[in-house]
Amino acid sequence: MLSCLTVLPIVAFMPIKGHAESSVVRVLLTKLQLTDKLEVSLDGSYTIGDLAFQRGSDLVISSATGRLMLYYEGMALSCGDKIVMTRHETGDQKENGLRFNNNLNLFSGDLHIRIKNGMLQAVLHIPVEEYLLGVVPYEMSDSFPLEALKAQAVAARTYALKKIKADGDYDVVDNTNDQVYYGFNAANTEAVKAVKETEGICAYYNGQMAICYYTASNGGQVELIENVWGKDENGGYITMHDDPYDLENHESVVKRTEIAKKTQNGTVYNAQLTDYLLMQISEQIEGKGYGTENGDVRIDSIEGISLHSPSGGYQSKVMTQMRFDLNVSVRKNASAAASETEEVNLFAVPNEAVIPSPTPAVKGELLPLGEVVSADVPVFSCIEPWLELSINGSNNEVLTVTEAENTYCIESRRYGHGVGMSQRGAQWMAGNHGWTYEQILRFYYPGITLKKVDTSASLQPAVSADYLATPGPAATATPRPTLMPVSQELKAGEWKVKVTQIAVNSSLNMRKEPNTSSEILRVLYYGQELIASERLNDGWIRVRTDVLDGYVMEKFVEAVEN
């Protein structure tokens, strides 16, 4: 291996003003799922130290030897414990950023790479306005109304700028622990417009930049910060209040089940719930003088179902207990019933020679108790798993009970932590009520003011063309995978999905049959839209595009707006 890339020109830079650091966000790139190797395509102007690279250059960075190595066109450079790829102005309107492992999306900014626990760690230093181009269309769909996307842009901008700190290796991560960031895709035109039309606008409360938390769906009520993360040190700009717009939106996630009022052979929905209810009412039944052995009590019908015991304050709609009011039948054994009415002869002489044998207990007839008994069942440890109503796994869903003629319908809502802006609520406000992004934000963050701040950031000056000249032919950009077109109208029972639940640098196989041993028809990349037509066993769905039909696993896609 060579100790340096001698064919690359050495560049001397004069001192210049760097990035406006107050608006540059450091993003830890976890979705790349880095191991000890990273392939980087330079679709812009970059230098590494004193080395300048042409647009279209392909680099490989590795930590396999225990130190950072940079490989380029068969040559190698030992880079010590850190590599910094610095972006420069280009003087044209061409894209200026990086692509990783042949990924479609562009990552604009400076890239800092080091070794962490034996693996590569990549942190992108990116101006906040460019960062938002890779956040907004993935936190919301690009198909959402423009005013909803603008509200998302302001919330995401404020959140990111508030998280910038002077210490540490990064400010935010690229997943749901902060905000999802997937890089820039020019196809997301509405999100681009939303970011540009709100450039620099942030939310403030009591003179300080707010942390604008947001959630996919709040289930009809905005949650308090302290109920999720403990003490709220930022004050009262997020309050617990009802959100009818989230409830109105039919796209908000809802899980539901029905429980019949009359039981089948004494079973309330399933054996788990039935056994728990019988256990809970046993003390009441025994207190009325009846037995509670197996078969001695039968639940005949449900008189009512209600919720109580709010979590996180009396105003909260997150209830922790579900009460069942039950009509039951009970019985006594026949021998006990006879002993209460049997006549006793006080003058009879006992026959000492005869030893009476015990009379076996005979089960009597089940008869209605004649009054309602009640049992409480914990919502999150029992009701949700037994009735398959869990959405988050975070014990924060909002449940409701609705009575019909023959059933009780139980519904579960809330997708996410529930704090701050509901994305589904914002979608409904903008699309169905004509709300502006300012109105949306003030509904979810009462008391805030919107201010425009300077989020501009400068790049290093353009590299001289002399430094980029090489005796060989100019490098050509790596071709990007082409997404298949999906332009057909949906048929009855069909819905659109998009490949998003994979790493941005990986791919998904579309197969001829719904099993992993079947023939691979096409490799699908992140962002590919599909039309789904049927759910099958074992998590497979049937999908199609304009050119191909096949099967994929549903866990790797998510539903999108029609």
**Domain of 508: which CATH number?**
2.30.30.40
User: Are 258 and 403 within one domain?
Assistant: yes
Residue 385 lies in a domain: yes
**Contacts of 170 by beta carbon, 8 Å cutoff, 6+ apart:** 26, 27, 28, 123
Report the SS3 class of residue 158: helix
Predicted model pTM: 0.78
CA pair distance 197, 177, nearest whole angstrom: 27
Query: Are 195 and 184 within 8 A, CB to CB?
Result: no
User: Are 408 and 532 within one domain?
Assistant: no
440-443: long-range pairs with CB below 8 Å, 24+: 440/147, 440/148, 440/151, 441/151, 441/154, 441/155, 441/203, 441/212
Residue 511 lies in a domain: yes
How does residue 174 score in pLDDT terms, banded at 50, 70 and 90? very high
pLDDT at 297 over 80: yes
Q: Which comes out higher in pLDDT, residue 53 or 442?
A: 442
pLDDT at 421 over 60: yes
Residue 521 lies in a domain: yes
Residue 297 lies in a domain: yes
User: Are 289 and 386 within one domain?
Assistant: yes
Phi, psi of 559 (to 5 degrees): -70, 145
Tell me what percent of the residues of the chain surpass a pLDDT of 70: 86
Residue 477 lies in a domain: no
Which residue matches tokens 């004069």? Answer: 14
User: Are 408 and 555 within one domain?
Assistant: no
Q: How many residues does the chain have?
A: 562
pLDDT value, residue 467: 63
User: Are 274 and 403 within one domain?
Assistant: yes
Domain boundary among 373, 395, 413: 413
Residue 126 lies in a domain: no
Find the domain containing 324 and state its range.
Answer: 254-336+362-413
Query: Are 89 and 459 within 8 A, CB to CB?
Result: yes
Query: Are 557 and 501 within 8 A, CB to CB?
Result: yes
Residue 68 lies in a domain: no
pLDDT at 114 over 80: yes
**Contacts of 2 by beta carbon, 8 Å cutoff, 6+ apart:** 75, 76, 77
pLDDT value, residue 294: 84
Digit-coded pLDDT (tens) for 305-345: 999 999 988 899 999 999 999 999 998 754 444 444 444 45
User: Are 384 and 503 within one domain?
Assistant: no
Domain boundary among 378, 413, 448: 413
pLDDT at 33 over 80: yes
CA distances to 263, 265, 298, 514 from 301, in Å: 6, 10, 9, 43
User: Are 396 and 520 within one domain?
Assistant: no
User: Are 401 and 508 within one domain?
Assistant: no
pLDDT value, residue 282: 95
Q: Which comes out higher in pLDDT, residue 528 or 19?
A: 528
Residue 285 lies in a domain: yes
How does residue 562 score in pLDDT terms, banded at 50, 70 and 90? low
Residues 176-215: b if buried by 16+ CB within 10 A, e if exposed: eebbbbbbbbeebebbbebbeebebbbbbbeeebbbbbbb
User: Are 401 and 293 within one domain?
Assistant: yes
Q: Which of 175, 90, 164 is nearest to 126 (CA)?
A: 164
pLDDT value, residue 331: 85
Mean pLDDT value of segment 437-466: 91
pLDDT at 540 over 80: yes
User: Are 386 and 534 within one domain?
Assistant: no
User: Are 501 and 366 within one domain?
Assistant: no
How does residue 375 score in pLDDT terms, banded at 50, 70 and 90? very high
The total number of structural domains in the chain stands at 2
pLDDT value, residue 153: 98
Least confident of 165-179, 351-365, 397-411: 351-365
Mean pLDDT value of segment 235-258: 93
Digit-coded pLDDT (tens) for 78-94: 888 999 999 999 888 88
pLDDT value, residue 483: 80
Report the SS3 class of residue 517: coil
Digit-coded pLDDT (tens) for 133-163: 999 999 999 999 999 999 999 999 999 999 9
Domain boundary among 396, 413, 430: 413
CA pair distance 504, 560, nearest whole angstrom: 18
